[in-house]
Amino acid sequence: MSLLELIAAADERGLAASAVACLDRCLPQPVDGADPDPLRPLWAGCADATVWPDRLAEARTALDTAADEAGAAPRIRKLLGEAPADRAAPELRDWADACSLLALEVHLDPDTAPGTTARTVRRLGEDDPDVAGPLPAGELRRQIRILELLAKATDASSAGAGLRQVLEVSAEGQRVLRAAVSRRARGRG
């Protein structure tokens, strides 16, 4: 299935977790003294819809106090502000889609062909995942993998294991992106 098909078919837990994973991967390297994982509270909200509103508020506060304006942090704050407080809300699918697009956009290489956008990567990636370069292609594959993992973990007993796997995939993606950003900065410096 394509990324768009997986987003369309995902349940509310899958949408919430895939969106949080996308935002998590986009977080810039924390500055000294800042919370290294400001979105951590949201993972509990992905597992349990009843705590989603409280965990969303905690994540918003944690990210606001980080006061980091580097990289994608302002856009992550904006998306967290737009996240539906009710995880069952129909807006959750639109929010998850916006988080997916942000992650793809953040992974676009500055040397990517002019006019290449996150939507282009998502559309063309179905036929040729490497069309926009290795970083966006890897992110596209990561998003698909995460949604597939979440789709498999449908019952309560496998949901926790599914979220742990998603956390691992997302953490690896975060390391890859931070390494790429660091290489770019050294190349310019």
pLDDT tens-digit profile, the chain (189 residues): 888 899 999 999 999 999 999 999 998 877 766 677 888 889 989 988 999 999 999 999 888 776 567 678 889 999 999 999 988 878 999 999 999 999 998 888 665 666 677 777 777 666 666 666 788 888 999 999 999 999 987 765 556 778 889 999 999 999 988 888 888 777 765
Q: What is the CA radius of gyration of the chain?
A: 16
Of 167, 180, 141, 183, nearest in space to 46 by CA: 167
- Written as one letter, the residue type at 189 is G
Amino acid (1-letter code) at residue 167: L
Q: How many domains does the chain have?
A: 1
Helix axes 73-82, 91-107, angle to 10 degrees: 170
- Strand ranges, E, within 17-103: none
DSSP characters for 1-40? --HHHHHHH--HHHHHHHHHHHHHHHPPPPPTTS-S-TTH
What CA–CA distance (Å, rounded) separates 14 from 28?
24
pLDDT given at position 158: 58
Structural domain containing residue 183: 3-188
Distances (CA, A) of 71 to 26, 27, 74: 8, 8, 8
Distance of CA 42 to the CA centre of its chain: 12
Q: What is the pLDDT of residue 119?
A: 76
Core vs surface per residue 55-72: b (16+ CB within 10 A) or e? bbebbbebbeebebeebb
Say what the pLDDT of residue 95 is.
96
